[in-house]
Amino acid sequence: MKWSVHNEHPLEESHDYLVVGLWNKPSKLEGLLKELNDEFEGELTSLVKEGDLSSKVRTVTKLPSLGKSKAKRILFVGLGKEKDLTLDSLRESFGATGKLLKDSRVEKVSVALDTFTAEGIEESDVAQALTEGIELATYSYEGYKQKSNLPDVAIDVLSVYTQADAHEINAALEVGHVLAEGTNSARTLVNMPANILTASKMAEYALDLAEKYGFESEILGKEEMESIGMGALLAVNQGSAEPPRMIVLKHKGKEEWTDVLGLVGKGITFDTGGYSIKGKDGIVGMKTDMGGAAAVLGAMEIIGKLQPEQNVVAVIPATDNMVSSKAFKPDDVITSLNGKTIEILNTDAEGRLALADGVTYAKQHGANYIVDVATLTGGVIVALGLDKTGALTNDEALFERVLEASAEAGEFIWQLPYTESDKKRVRNSPVADLNNSPGRDGHAIFAGAFIGEFTEGTPWVHLDIAGTATTKKAHYLGPAGATGAMTRTLALLVEQFLLEKKE
Ligand code: BES
Ligand code: ZN
Ligand code: ZN
Protein backbone atom coordinates (compact mmCIF):
# COMPACT_ATOMS: atom_id res chain seq x y z
CA MET A 1 0.00 0.00 0.00
CA LYS A 2 1.31 3.45 -0.93
CA TRP A 3 0.26 6.66 0.77
CA SER A 4 0.73 10.40 0.63
CA VAL A 5 0.16 13.07 3.27
CA HIS A 6 -1.65 16.33 2.45
CA ASN A 7 -2.46 19.38 4.50
CA GLU A 8 -5.13 20.79 2.24
CA HIS A 9 -8.67 20.97 3.56
CA PRO A 10 -10.20 17.57 2.72
CA LEU A 11 -13.54 19.04 1.59
CA GLU A 12 -11.84 21.30 -0.93
CA GLU A 13 -10.36 18.35 -2.86
CA SER A 14 -12.08 15.68 -4.95
CA HIS A 15 -12.21 12.10 -3.69
CA ASP A 16 -13.75 8.81 -4.80
CA TYR A 17 -13.99 7.78 -1.16
CA LEU A 18 -13.45 10.01 1.86
CA VAL A 19 -13.13 8.31 5.23
CA VAL A 20 -14.38 10.35 8.19
CA GLY A 21 -14.69 9.53 11.90
CA LEU A 22 -18.16 9.80 13.41
CA TRP A 23 -18.39 10.30 17.17
CA ASN A 24 -21.41 9.55 19.26
CA LYS A 25 -22.21 13.09 20.34
CA PRO A 26 -26.00 13.30 20.44
CA SER A 27 -27.40 16.16 18.40
CA LYS A 28 -24.03 17.73 17.79
CA LEU A 29 -21.78 17.50 14.76
CA GLU A 30 -18.52 19.39 15.05
CA GLY A 31 -15.60 20.43 12.89
CA LEU A 32 -15.40 18.70 9.55
CA LEU A 33 -18.63 16.82 10.25
CA LYS A 34 -20.45 20.09 10.71
CA GLU A 35 -19.08 21.32 7.39
CA LEU A 36 -20.19 18.08 5.74
CA ASN A 37 -23.58 18.42 7.36
CA ASP A 38 -23.84 21.87 5.84
CA GLU A 39 -22.96 20.44 2.42
CA PHE A 40 -25.71 17.87 2.95
CA GLU A 41 -28.10 20.64 4.01
CA GLY A 42 -28.51 19.26 7.51
CA GLU A 43 -29.38 15.75 6.32
CA LEU A 44 -26.56 14.10 8.29
CA THR A 45 -28.18 15.08 11.57
CA SER A 46 -31.40 13.35 10.60
CA LEU A 47 -29.59 10.27 9.25
CA VAL A 48 -27.83 9.94 12.60
CA LYS A 49 -31.08 10.50 14.49
CA GLU A 50 -32.95 7.89 12.50
CA GLY A 51 -30.16 5.37 12.88
CA ASP A 52 -29.19 5.20 9.18
CA LEU A 53 -25.77 6.54 10.04
CA SER A 54 -24.22 4.67 12.95
CA SER A 55 -21.67 6.12 15.32
CA LYS A 56 -21.18 2.71 16.93
CA VAL A 57 -17.53 1.81 17.14
CA ARG A 58 -16.27 -0.64 14.44
CA THR A 59 -19.30 0.16 12.27
CA VAL A 60 -18.78 1.71 8.84
CA THR A 61 -21.51 3.31 6.72
CA LYS A 62 -21.10 4.26 3.08
CA LEU A 63 -22.99 7.34 1.89
CA PRO A 64 -23.01 8.51 -1.74
CA SER A 65 -22.90 12.29 -1.79
CA LEU A 66 -25.10 12.67 -4.91
CA GLY A 67 -23.17 15.73 -6.00
CA LYS A 68 -23.53 17.56 -2.70
CA SER A 69 -19.82 17.24 -1.87
CA LYS A 70 -16.56 17.07 -3.82
CA ALA A 71 -16.15 13.66 -2.24
CA LYS A 72 -18.17 11.20 -4.34
CA ARG A 73 -18.79 8.89 -1.42
CA ILE A 74 -18.23 9.32 2.30
CA LEU A 75 -17.36 6.42 4.58
CA PHE A 76 -18.44 7.23 8.11
CA VAL A 77 -16.45 5.24 10.64
CA GLY A 78 -18.28 4.95 13.96
CA LEU A 79 -16.06 5.79 16.95
CA GLY A 80 -18.54 5.66 19.83
CA LYS A 81 -18.11 8.00 22.77
CA GLU A 82 -14.80 9.83 22.96
CA LYS A 83 -14.02 8.68 26.48
CA ASP A 84 -14.48 5.02 25.49
CA LEU A 85 -12.29 4.91 22.38
CA THR A 86 -9.05 2.95 22.73
CA LEU A 87 -6.25 2.41 20.24
CA ASP A 88 -7.42 -1.21 19.95
CA SER A 89 -10.95 -0.28 18.97
CA LEU A 90 -9.67 2.43 16.63
CA ARG A 91 -7.36 -0.10 14.91
CA GLU A 92 -10.30 -2.49 14.59
CA SER A 93 -12.52 0.27 13.22
CA PHE A 94 -9.93 0.90 10.52
CA GLY A 95 -9.87 -2.86 9.99
CA ALA A 96 -13.62 -2.83 9.37
CA THR A 97 -13.11 0.11 6.98
CA GLY A 98 -10.40 -1.78 5.10
CA LYS A 99 -12.60 -4.86 4.74
CA LEU A 100 -15.50 -2.81 3.37
CA LEU A 101 -13.21 -1.09 0.88
CA LYS A 102 -11.66 -4.39 -0.20
CA ASP A 103 -15.06 -6.00 -0.64
CA SER A 104 -16.13 -3.03 -2.77
CA ARG A 105 -12.89 -3.40 -4.74
CA VAL A 106 -11.83 0.15 -4.02
CA GLU A 107 -8.26 1.09 -4.84
CA LYS A 108 -8.08 4.81 -4.00
CA VAL A 109 -9.08 6.22 -0.63
CA SER A 110 -8.75 9.53 1.18
CA VAL A 111 -8.82 9.83 4.95
CA ALA A 112 -9.69 12.88 7.04
CA LEU A 113 -7.20 11.86 9.74
CA ASP A 114 -7.88 14.65 12.22
CA THR A 115 -11.52 13.59 12.63
CA PHE A 116 -10.24 10.51 14.52
CA THR A 117 -8.16 12.18 17.25
CA ALA A 118 -9.31 12.04 20.86
CA GLU A 119 -7.86 12.71 24.28
CA GLY A 120 -4.77 10.50 24.50
CA ILE A 121 -5.00 9.51 20.83
CA GLU A 122 -2.91 11.88 18.74
CA GLU A 123 -2.69 12.25 14.97
CA SER A 124 0.39 10.00 14.81
CA ASP A 125 -1.39 7.28 16.83
CA VAL A 126 -4.30 7.47 14.40
CA ALA A 127 -1.91 7.26 11.45
CA GLN A 128 -0.22 4.12 12.78
CA ALA A 129 -3.56 2.48 13.60
CA LEU A 130 -4.77 3.35 10.09
CA THR A 131 -2.16 1.48 8.04
CA GLU A 132 -1.84 -1.26 10.67
CA GLY A 133 -5.61 -1.82 10.84
CA ILE A 134 -6.26 -1.72 7.10
CA GLU A 135 -3.34 -3.94 6.11
CA LEU A 136 -3.98 -6.52 8.84
CA ALA A 137 -7.67 -6.67 8.03
CA THR A 138 -7.30 -7.03 4.27
CA TYR A 139 -4.74 -9.85 4.45
CA SER A 140 -5.63 -13.02 2.59
CA TYR A 141 -3.82 -16.29 1.99
CA GLU A 142 -3.77 -17.34 -1.63
CA GLY A 143 -3.06 -21.03 -1.09
CA TYR A 144 -2.76 -23.31 -4.06
CA LYS A 145 -6.07 -23.05 -5.86
CA GLN A 146 -5.65 -23.13 -9.62
CA LYS A 147 -8.30 -20.46 -9.86
CA SER A 148 -8.21 -17.97 -7.05
CA ASN A 149 -11.61 -16.86 -5.80
CA LEU A 150 -10.13 -13.90 -4.01
CA PRO A 151 -10.47 -10.36 -5.31
CA ASP A 152 -7.06 -9.30 -6.55
CA VAL A 153 -7.64 -5.66 -5.68
CA ALA A 154 -5.97 -4.08 -2.72
CA ILE A 155 -6.14 -0.53 -1.49
CA ASP A 156 -3.33 0.92 -3.47
CA VAL A 157 -3.33 4.64 -2.83
CA LEU A 158 -4.11 6.14 0.53
CA SER A 159 -4.31 9.95 0.68
CA VAL A 160 -4.09 11.14 4.25
CA TYR A 161 -5.35 14.66 5.07
CA THR A 162 -4.08 16.22 8.28
CA GLN A 163 -2.95 19.49 9.81
CA ALA A 164 -0.25 17.64 11.78
CA ASP A 165 3.42 17.54 10.79
CA ALA A 166 3.68 15.55 7.55
CA HIS A 167 7.03 13.99 8.53
CA GLU A 168 5.66 12.67 11.77
CA ILE A 169 2.52 11.32 10.12
CA ASN A 170 4.54 9.66 7.37
CA ALA A 171 6.73 7.95 9.95
CA ALA A 172 3.71 6.70 11.89
CA LEU A 173 2.01 5.42 8.73
CA GLU A 174 5.25 3.59 7.93
CA VAL A 175 5.43 1.97 11.40
CA GLY A 176 1.83 0.74 11.12
CA HIS A 177 2.54 -0.59 7.64
CA VAL A 178 5.72 -2.39 8.69
CA LEU A 179 4.04 -3.94 11.76
CA ALA A 180 1.21 -5.25 9.58
CA GLU A 181 3.55 -6.55 6.89
CA GLY A 182 5.60 -8.55 9.39
CA THR A 183 2.44 -9.97 10.94
CA ASN A 184 1.04 -10.89 7.54
CA SER A 185 4.29 -12.66 6.62
CA ALA A 186 4.00 -14.66 9.85
CA ARG A 187 0.40 -15.53 8.94
CA THR A 188 1.45 -16.82 5.55
CA LEU A 189 4.17 -19.03 7.07
CA VAL A 190 1.61 -20.53 9.46
CA ASN A 191 -0.97 -21.03 6.71
CA MET A 192 1.51 -22.86 4.48
CA PRO A 193 1.20 -26.65 4.34
CA ALA A 194 3.88 -28.75 6.03
CA ASN A 195 4.87 -30.63 2.87
CA ILE A 196 5.94 -27.29 1.44
CA LEU A 197 7.17 -25.41 4.51
CA THR A 198 9.71 -27.97 5.78
CA ALA A 199 12.45 -27.12 8.28
CA SER A 200 14.92 -26.63 5.41
CA LYS A 201 12.51 -24.28 3.63
CA MET A 202 12.05 -22.30 6.81
CA ALA A 203 15.83 -21.99 7.07
CA GLU A 204 16.00 -20.74 3.47
CA TYR A 205 13.29 -18.20 4.27
CA ALA A 206 15.33 -17.01 7.28
CA LEU A 207 18.46 -16.72 5.11
CA ASP A 208 16.52 -14.55 2.67
CA LEU A 209 15.57 -12.26 5.55
CA ALA A 210 19.22 -12.18 6.64
CA GLU A 211 20.34 -11.13 3.19
CA LYS A 212 17.64 -8.51 2.83
CA TYR A 213 18.14 -6.87 6.22
CA GLY A 214 21.80 -7.52 6.97
CA PHE A 215 21.34 -10.02 9.81
CA GLU A 216 24.17 -12.33 10.71
CA SER A 217 22.93 -15.90 10.29
CA GLU A 218 23.76 -19.46 11.20
CA ILE A 219 21.92 -22.61 10.18
CA LEU A 220 22.79 -25.91 11.85
CA GLY A 221 22.08 -29.18 10.04
CA LYS A 222 21.81 -32.65 11.53
CA GLU A 223 25.55 -33.42 11.61
CA GLU A 224 26.41 -30.13 13.30
CA MET A 225 23.69 -30.80 15.87
CA GLU A 226 25.07 -34.27 16.50
CA SER A 227 28.59 -32.96 16.97
CA ILE A 228 27.55 -30.47 19.67
CA GLY A 229 25.01 -32.77 21.35
CA MET A 230 21.76 -31.01 20.55
CA GLY A 231 20.01 -34.19 21.68
CA ALA A 232 16.54 -32.85 22.48
CA LEU A 233 15.87 -31.33 19.06
CA LEU A 234 17.46 -34.39 17.42
CA ALA A 235 15.16 -36.72 19.37
CA VAL A 236 12.08 -34.96 18.01
CA ASN A 237 13.49 -35.18 14.49
CA GLN A 238 14.55 -38.84 14.82
CA GLY A 239 11.49 -40.31 13.07
CA SER A 240 11.50 -37.87 10.18
CA ALA A 241 12.63 -38.12 6.58
CA GLU A 242 13.11 -34.34 6.67
CA PRO A 243 16.36 -33.05 8.21
CA PRO A 244 16.10 -30.64 11.16
CA ARG A 245 17.42 -27.08 11.22
CA MET A 246 18.51 -24.83 14.04
CA ILE A 247 18.05 -21.33 12.69
CA VAL A 248 19.87 -18.33 14.17
CA LEU A 249 19.53 -14.69 13.04
CA LYS A 250 21.35 -11.83 14.74
CA HIS A 251 20.42 -8.19 14.51
CA LYS A 252 23.38 -6.19 15.76
CA GLY A 253 21.88 -2.89 16.83
CA LYS A 254 24.83 -1.79 18.96
CA GLU A 255 28.63 -1.66 18.70
CA GLU A 256 29.03 -4.37 21.32
CA TRP A 257 27.23 -7.70 21.49
CA THR A 258 25.88 -7.04 24.99
CA ASP A 259 22.37 -6.58 26.40
CA VAL A 260 21.07 -9.16 23.93
CA LEU A 261 17.39 -10.02 23.70
CA GLY A 262 16.82 -13.65 22.65
CA LEU A 263 13.62 -14.57 20.78
CA VAL A 264 13.08 -18.32 20.61
CA GLY A 265 10.24 -19.73 18.50
CA LYS A 266 8.85 -23.27 18.34
CA GLY A 267 9.32 -24.40 14.76
CA ILE A 268 7.51 -27.76 14.62
CA THR A 269 6.47 -27.77 10.97
CA PHE A 270 4.03 -30.63 11.61
CA ASP A 271 3.14 -32.37 14.87
CA THR A 272 1.73 -35.88 14.49
CA GLY A 273 2.37 -36.46 18.19
CA GLY A 274 4.92 -39.17 17.35
CA TYR A 275 4.28 -42.57 18.99
CA SER A 276 2.00 -40.78 21.48
CA ILE A 277 0.07 -40.15 18.30
CA LYS A 278 -2.72 -37.62 17.97
CA GLY A 279 -6.25 -38.68 17.00
CA LYS A 280 -7.58 -38.13 13.49
CA ASP A 281 -9.30 -34.92 14.59
CA GLY A 282 -6.52 -33.49 16.73
CA ILE A 283 -3.91 -33.94 14.01
CA VAL A 284 -5.63 -31.74 11.44
CA GLY A 285 -4.22 -28.23 11.66
CA MET A 286 -0.87 -29.28 13.11
CA LYS A 287 0.90 -27.56 10.23
CA THR A 288 0.43 -24.48 12.44
CA ASP A 289 2.73 -25.85 15.15
CA MET A 290 5.44 -23.46 13.97
CA GLY A 291 3.38 -20.39 14.95
CA GLY A 292 6.08 -19.38 17.45
CA ALA A 293 8.77 -19.55 14.78
CA ALA A 294 6.57 -17.53 12.44
CA ALA A 295 6.07 -14.83 15.10
CA VAL A 296 9.82 -14.61 15.62
CA LEU A 297 10.52 -14.44 11.86
CA GLY A 298 7.75 -11.84 11.40
CA ALA A 299 9.22 -9.78 14.25
CA MET A 300 12.69 -10.05 12.67
CA GLU A 301 11.27 -8.72 9.40
CA ILE A 302 9.90 -5.72 11.31
CA ILE A 303 13.22 -5.29 13.14
CA GLY A 304 15.06 -5.50 9.82
CA LYS A 305 12.92 -2.70 8.42
CA LEU A 306 12.97 -0.44 11.48
CA GLN A 307 16.63 -1.15 12.43
CA PRO A 308 16.33 -0.48 16.19
CA GLU A 309 19.59 0.07 18.09
CA GLN A 310 19.03 -3.06 20.15
CA ASN A 311 20.80 -6.41 19.89
CA VAL A 312 18.48 -9.30 19.09
CA VAL A 313 19.18 -12.96 18.51
CA ALA A 314 16.40 -15.07 16.99
CA VAL A 315 16.65 -18.81 17.52
CA ILE A 316 14.33 -21.33 15.88
CA PRO A 317 14.56 -25.07 16.42
CA ALA A 318 12.79 -26.50 13.37
CA THR A 319 11.66 -30.03 12.54
CA ASP A 320 8.49 -32.05 12.14
CA ASN A 321 7.44 -34.67 14.71
CA MET A 322 6.84 -37.95 12.90
CA VAL A 323 6.49 -41.69 13.44
CA SER A 324 8.75 -44.33 11.88
CA SER A 325 10.86 -47.26 13.04
CA LYS A 326 13.55 -44.70 13.85
CA ALA A 327 11.37 -42.33 15.86
CA PHE A 328 11.96 -41.62 19.55
CA LYS A 329 9.47 -43.24 21.90
CA PRO A 330 8.08 -43.11 25.42
CA ASP A 331 10.55 -44.39 28.05
CA ASP A 332 13.55 -43.19 26.01
CA VAL A 333 16.09 -41.09 27.88
CA ILE A 334 17.74 -38.33 25.89
CA THR A 335 20.47 -35.78 26.63
CA SER A 336 19.85 -32.14 25.81
CA LEU A 337 22.38 -29.56 24.62
CA ASN A 338 23.06 -28.25 28.14
CA GLY A 339 23.69 -31.78 29.44
CA LYS A 340 20.43 -32.31 31.31
CA THR A 341 18.91 -35.73 30.73
CA ILE A 342 15.21 -36.11 29.96
CA GLU A 343 12.89 -39.07 30.38
CA ILE A 344 10.38 -39.12 27.55
CA LEU A 345 6.90 -39.89 28.85
CA ASN A 346 5.01 -38.46 25.91
CA THR A 347 6.39 -37.86 22.41
CA ASP A 348 3.57 -35.37 21.80
CA ALA A 349 5.19 -33.07 24.36
CA GLU A 350 7.85 -32.37 21.71
CA GLY A 351 7.73 -28.57 21.61
CA ARG A 352 9.36 -28.19 25.02
CA LEU A 353 12.18 -30.50 23.89
CA ALA A 354 12.91 -28.45 20.78
CA LEU A 355 12.66 -25.25 22.84
CA ALA A 356 14.97 -26.58 25.56
CA ASP A 357 17.79 -26.76 23.02
CA GLY A 358 16.62 -23.48 21.48
CA VAL A 359 16.89 -21.68 24.83
CA THR A 360 20.31 -23.20 25.55
CA TYR A 361 21.53 -22.22 22.09
CA ALA A 362 20.23 -18.66 22.51
CA LYS A 363 22.21 -18.45 25.76
CA GLN A 364 25.30 -19.78 23.99
CA HIS A 365 24.81 -16.96 21.49
CA GLY A 366 24.87 -14.40 24.28
CA ALA A 367 21.16 -13.85 25.04
CA ASN A 368 20.80 -11.95 28.34
CA TYR A 369 17.00 -11.99 28.19
CA ILE A 370 14.86 -14.69 26.62
CA VAL A 371 11.30 -14.68 25.35
CA ASP A 372 10.08 -17.97 23.91
CA VAL A 373 6.91 -18.23 21.84
CA ALA A 374 5.22 -21.54 21.13
CA THR A 375 2.00 -23.30 20.20
CA LEU A 376 2.81 -25.45 23.17
CA THR A 377 -0.25 -26.94 24.86
CA GLY A 378 -3.92 -27.71 24.48
CA GLY A 379 -3.90 -27.01 28.23
CA VAL A 380 -3.54 -23.27 27.71
CA ILE A 381 -6.73 -23.34 25.62
CA VAL A 382 -8.59 -25.13 28.42
CA ALA A 383 -7.25 -22.61 30.93
CA LEU A 384 -7.63 -19.33 29.03
CA GLY A 385 -9.69 -19.91 25.91
CA LEU A 386 -8.82 -19.21 22.31
CA ASP A 387 -8.17 -15.49 22.55
CA LYS A 388 -5.58 -15.25 25.30
CA THR A 389 -1.91 -16.05 25.19
CA GLY A 390 -0.66 -17.73 28.37
CA ALA A 391 2.59 -16.62 29.98
CA LEU A 392 5.08 -17.90 32.54
CA THR A 393 8.10 -16.01 33.83
CA ASN A 394 11.06 -16.14 36.18
CA ASP A 395 11.44 -12.35 36.05
CA GLU A 396 8.54 -10.02 36.79
CA ALA A 397 10.36 -6.95 35.43
CA LEU A 398 10.85 -8.57 32.03
CA PHE A 399 7.27 -9.80 32.08
CA GLU A 400 6.08 -6.22 32.72
CA ARG A 401 7.90 -5.10 29.58
CA VAL A 402 6.34 -7.89 27.53
CA LEU A 403 2.93 -7.02 28.94
CA GLU A 404 3.37 -3.36 27.98
CA ALA A 405 4.36 -4.29 24.44
CA SER A 406 1.39 -6.64 24.16
CA ALA A 407 -0.98 -3.92 25.37
CA GLU A 408 0.36 -1.59 22.70
CA ALA A 409 -0.13 -4.31 20.08
CA GLY A 410 -3.60 -5.14 21.37
CA GLU A 411 -2.63 -8.77 22.02
CA PHE A 412 -3.97 -10.16 25.28
CA ILE A 413 -1.56 -12.03 27.58
CA TRP A 414 -2.38 -13.64 30.92
CA GLN A 415 0.23 -14.85 33.37
CA LEU A 416 -0.02 -18.36 34.82
CA PRO A 417 1.56 -19.25 38.17
CA TYR A 418 5.01 -20.84 38.18
CA THR A 419 5.75 -22.35 41.58
CA GLU A 420 8.26 -24.61 43.30
CA SER A 421 5.78 -27.49 43.12
CA ASP A 422 5.63 -27.11 39.32
CA LYS A 423 9.43 -27.26 39.17
CA LYS A 424 9.35 -30.37 41.36
CA ARG A 425 6.96 -32.10 39.00
CA VAL A 426 9.17 -31.63 35.93
CA ARG A 427 12.22 -32.74 37.95
CA ASN A 428 10.48 -35.91 39.08
CA SER A 429 11.96 -38.87 37.19
CA PRO A 430 13.46 -42.13 38.44
CA VAL A 431 15.89 -42.28 35.52
CA ALA A 432 16.73 -38.75 34.35
CA ASP A 433 17.08 -35.13 35.49
CA LEU A 434 13.70 -34.17 34.05
CA ASN A 435 10.58 -35.74 32.58
CA ASN A 436 8.80 -34.18 29.61
CA SER A 437 5.20 -34.78 30.69
CA PRO A 438 4.31 -34.79 34.39
CA GLY A 439 0.56 -35.17 33.81
CA ARG A 440 -2.50 -33.50 32.40
CA ASP A 441 -3.38 -31.41 35.46
CA GLY A 442 -2.09 -27.90 34.74
CA HIS A 443 0.00 -29.12 31.84
CA ALA A 444 0.31 -25.65 30.28
CA ILE A 445 2.28 -24.75 33.40
CA PHE A 446 4.42 -27.91 33.34
CA ALA A 447 5.30 -27.27 29.70
CA GLY A 448 6.52 -23.77 30.53
CA ALA A 449 8.21 -24.98 33.71
CA PHE A 450 10.14 -27.55 31.67
CA ILE A 451 11.54 -24.81 29.41
CA GLY A 452 12.35 -22.79 32.55
CA GLU A 453 14.80 -25.53 33.58
CA PHE A 454 17.04 -24.47 30.70
CA THR A 455 17.08 -20.73 31.37
CA GLU A 456 19.48 -21.14 34.33
CA GLY A 457 19.08 -17.67 35.79
CA THR A 458 18.53 -15.73 32.56
CA PRO A 459 15.42 -13.51 32.79
CA TRP A 460 12.78 -15.28 30.73
CA VAL A 461 9.19 -15.05 29.60
CA HIS A 462 7.35 -17.97 28.02
CA LEU A 463 4.37 -17.30 25.74
CA ASP A 464 2.00 -20.17 24.90
CA ILE A 465 0.06 -19.25 21.74
CA ALA A 466 -1.67 -22.61 21.15
CA GLY A 467 -5.03 -20.83 21.40
CA THR A 468 -4.17 -17.54 19.72
CA ALA A 469 -2.00 -18.53 16.73
CA THR A 470 -5.03 -19.45 14.64
CA THR A 471 -8.72 -18.66 14.59
CA LYS A 472 -11.69 -20.42 13.04
CA LYS A 473 -13.57 -17.18 12.45
CA ALA A 474 -12.77 -14.04 10.51
CA HIS A 475 -12.24 -11.05 12.81
CA TYR A 476 -11.87 -7.27 12.48
CA LEU A 477 -8.15 -7.55 11.87
CA GLY A 478 -8.03 -10.53 9.55
CA PRO A 479 -9.57 -13.64 8.03
CA ALA A 480 -9.96 -17.11 9.55
CA GLY A 481 -6.69 -19.04 9.76
CA ALA A 482 -3.36 -17.82 11.09
CA THR A 483 -3.39 -14.64 13.17
CA GLY A 484 0.32 -13.85 13.38
CA ALA A 485 -0.12 -13.70 17.17
CA MET A 486 2.76 -12.12 19.12
CA THR A 487 4.61 -10.87 16.03
CA ARG A 488 3.85 -7.24 16.82
CA THR A 489 4.29 -7.76 20.56
CA LEU A 490 7.82 -9.10 20.04
CA ALA A 491 8.74 -6.29 17.65
CA LEU A 492 7.34 -3.63 19.99
CA LEU A 493 9.18 -5.24 22.90
CA VAL A 494 12.44 -4.68 21.05
CA GLU A 495 11.52 -1.03 20.41
CA GLN A 496 10.64 -0.62 24.08
CA PHE A 497 13.98 -2.01 25.27
CA LEU A 498 15.49 0.94 23.43
CA LEU A 499 13.22 3.52 25.01
CA GLU A 500 14.00 2.22 28.48
CA LYS A 501 17.72 2.46 27.80
CA LYS A 502 17.44 6.04 26.53
CA GLU A 503 15.44 7.32 29.50
N1 BES B 1 1.36 -28.79 19.33
C2 BES B 1 0.71 -29.28 20.48
C3 BES B 1 -0.13 -28.23 21.21
C4 BES B 1 -1.31 -27.66 20.47
C5 BES B 1 -2.57 -28.17 20.69
C6 BES B 1 -1.17 -26.61 19.62
C7 BES B 1 -3.65 -27.64 20.04
C8 BES B 1 -2.25 -26.06 18.97
C9 BES B 1 -3.51 -26.58 19.18
C10 BES B 1 1.72 -29.83 21.48
O11 BES B 1 2.90 -30.30 20.95
C12 BES B 1 1.04 -30.96 22.19
O13 BES B 1 0.72 -31.92 21.55
N14 BES B 1 0.83 -30.82 23.49
C15 BES B 1 0.20 -31.81 24.28
C16 BES B 1 0.97 -31.90 25.57
C17 BES B 1 0.62 -33.11 26.37
C18 BES B 1 1.16 -34.33 25.68
C19 BES B 1 1.23 -32.99 27.73
C20 BES B 1 -1.24 -31.37 24.55
O21 BES B 1 -1.47 -30.18 24.68
O22 BES B 1 -2.11 -32.22 24.62
ZN1 ZN C 1 2.80 -32.35 20.38
ZN1 ZN D 1 3.47 -29.46 19.13
Mean pLDDT across 86-108 = 95
Query: Could you report the per-residue pLDDT of 364-398, keeping only the tens digit for each?
Result: 999 999 999 999 999 999 999 999 999 999 999 99
454-481 pLDDT, tens digit per residue, is 999 999 999 999 999 999 999 999 999 9
Whose CA is closest to 116, among 75, 155, 166?
75
Residue 466 C-alpha to ligand 1 middle, in angstroms?
8
Query: What distance in angstroms lies between residue 222's CA and the mean position of ligand 2's atoms?
Result: 21
Distance 352 CA to ligand 3 centre (A): 8
Q: Mean of the pLDDT values across residues 43-63?
A: 94
Ligand 1 close to Cβ of residue 443 (< 6 A): yes
Residue 464 Cβ contacting ligand 1 at under 6 Å: no
Residue 496 has a pLDDT of 87
The answer, yes or no, to whether any atom of ligand 1 lies below 6 A from the CB of 347, is no
Mark the residues whose beta carbon lies below 5 A from ion ligand 3. 268, 271, 289, 351
The average pLDDT across 275-288 equals: 98
CB 378 near ligand 1, within 6 Å? yes
Q: Is the CB of 236 under 6 A from ligand 1?
A: no
| Long-range contacts from 254-257, C-beta under 8 angstroms, 24+ separation | 254/309, 254/310, 254/311, 257/311, 257/366
Catalytic: which of 99, 340, 352, 401? 352
Q: With 80 as the cut, is the pLDDT of residue 483 above it?
A: yes
Domain layout of the chain by residue ranges: 2-182, 197-496
What residues are neighbours of ligand 2 (ion), with CB under 5 Å?
271, 348, 350
Phi and psi for 312 in degrees, rounded to 5? -135, 135
pLDDT digit string (tens) for 326-378?
999 999 999 999 999 999 999 999 999 999 999 999 999 999 999 999 999 99
Tell me, in angstroms, the distance from the centre of ligand 3 to residue 356's CA: 13
Mutational test site, ligand 1, from 328, 342, 376, 434, max ligand atoms within 8 Å of CB: 376
Atom of ligand 1 nearest to the CA of 379: 21
The whole-number pLDDT of residue 29 equals 84
With cut-offs at 50, 70 and 90, classify the pLDDT of residue 146: confident
Mutate to test the pocket of ligand 1, among 377, 463, 483, 486 (most ligand atoms within 8 A of CB): 377
The whole-angstrom separation of Cα 337 and Cα 100 is 51
pLDDT reported for residue 502: 52
Residue 88's pLDDT is 98
Instruction: Evaluate: CB of 320 within 6 angstroms of ligand 1.
Output: no
348 ligand 1 Cβ < 6 A: yes
Query: What is the spatial distance between Cα 358 and Cα 454, in angstroms, rounded to a whole number?
Result: 9
Is residue 352 flagged as an active site residue? yes
Q: Would you say residue 503 has pLDDT above 60? A: no
- 90 phi and psi angles, rounded to 5 deg: -65, -45
What residue owns the CA closest to ligand 1's atom 7? 378
What residue owns the CA closest to ligand 1's atom 14? 377
The rounded Å distance from CA 138 to ligand 2 centre is 32
Residue 423 is predicted with a pLDDT of 98
**pLDDT(242) > 90:** yes
Q: Which atom of ligand 1 is nearest to the CA of 375?
A: 6
pLDDT digits (tens, 9 = 90+) for 251-276: 999 999 999 999 999 999 999 999 99
Residue 278 known to be catalytic: yes
- Report the CATH fold assignment for 2-182: Leucine Aminopeptidase, subunit E; domain 1 (3.40.220)
Q: For residue 435, what are the CA distances in angstroms to 69, 366, 429, 460?
A: 70, 27, 6, 21
Same CATH topology for 2-182 and 197-496: the answer is no
Separation CA 492–CA 408 (nearest Å): 8
The protein residue with its alpha carbon nearest to ligand 1, atom 5, reads: 378
**pLDDT value of residue 119:** 93
497 vs 63 pLDDT, higher one: 63
CB 392 within 8 A of CB 309: no
Share of the chain above pLDDT 90, in %: 93
Over residues 198-228, the pLDDT tens digits come to 999 999 999 999 999 999 999 999 999 999 9
pLDDT band, residue 501 (cuts 50/70/90): low
Contact 102, 153 (CB under 8 A): yes
Query: pLDDT at position 151, please?
Result: 64
Q: How confident is the model at residue 497 (pLDDT cuts 50, 70, 90)?
A: confident
* CA–CA separation, 474 and 36 (whole Å): 33
- Separation of alpha carbons 497 and 368, rounded Å: 12
Distance 132 CA to ligand 1 centre (A): 31
Q: What is the pTM of this model?
A: 0.97
CATH topology of domain 197-496: Aminopeptidase (3.40.630)
Residue of 56, 278, 329, 423 marked catalytic: 278
Distance CA 194, CA 61 (A): 41
Find the 266 Cα to ligand 2 centroid distance in Å.
11
**Half-sphere exposure at residue 442, Cβ-oriented, CA atoms within 13 angstroms:** 16
> Considering Cα of 209, then 210, then 215, then 216, what sign does the dihedral take?
positive
Average pLDDT score over the chain: 96
